[in-house]
Amino acid sequence: MNDRLFHFVGGGEGQFSIEEMRAVCGESLPLASKLYVGLGLPSWPGTFSLRGVVSHERYVTRAERSSLVLAQEAIGRKEATWGAFIPLKKSAAWWALTQDERRQIFEEDSAHIRIGMKALPRIARRLHHCRDLEEPAPFDFLTWFDFRAEDTSVFDDLLAELRATEEWKYVEREVDVRVVRSGGG
């Protein structure tokens, strides 16, 4: 298996308890009580099983990356026991745009990176791509975040701001799955 391939499996087992699950746009996912997140596929069957690959960045410039690298934290900090798993699918119209048009909407019009920066270092994020896997996938991206319980409102504000952007007009399916690390605070 590709060593950048992560699995997200909902079911009765996993490192995270699912607290809330709702469709923001389009169809939701089958309900589950636990979420497994990891590089290998677990041995149990899930009510849903999604996977995606961590890849190179598609829009970030050198200047932006320099700022991001200074500010961001990696997923998995001990105290970041709250998480959010948000799979997203963008429309055919998005994928028919050219690179300059996508970049224009992503950052110049929607300030995706600038909005995200405001939540750093409190919110950690990892992006997984699933549009170009061998098997067809129901989402284009799987986004995975973690943060401390007290930073939940920072995270909610971040999502609200992103969902109001021009870029989000191209999102045709989005599910918001909130989790807490099992045994964590």
Q: Applying CB under 8 A, which residues contact a copy of itself?
A: 1-5, 51, 53, 55-62, 64-65, 95-96, 98-101, 103, 129, 131-136
Nearer to a copy of itself, 92 or 153 (CB): 92
| Calpha distance 163→94 (Å, rounded) | 15
Nearer to a copy of itself, 101 or 108 (CB): 101
Residue 148 CB, nearest approach to a copy of itself (Å): 30
Residue 56 CB, nearest approach to a copy of itself (Å): 5
CB 138 within 8 A of CB 50: yes
Residue 79 CB, nearest approach to a copy of itself (Å): 30
Residue 133 CB, nearest approach to a copy of itself (Å): 5
Closest CA to 41 of 11, 18, 82, 83: 11
Give whole-number Cα distances, 69 to 49, 63, 146, 183, in Å. Answer: 31, 10, 17, 30
Residue 53 CB, nearest approach to a copy of itself (Å): 4
Contacts of 11 (CB under 8 A, 6+ apart): 32, 33, 34, 36, 44, 45, 46, 47
Nearer to a copy of itself, 18 or 130 (CB): 130
Centre a 10 Å sphere on the Cβ of residue 103 and count the other Cβ atoms it contains: 16
| Calpha distance 5→28 (Å, rounded) | 23
Nearer to a copy of itself, 4 or 114 (CB): 4
Tokens of 17: 């308890």
Nearer to a copy of itself, 44 or 95 (CB): 95
Over its C-alpha atoms, the chain yields an Rg (Å, rounded) of 16
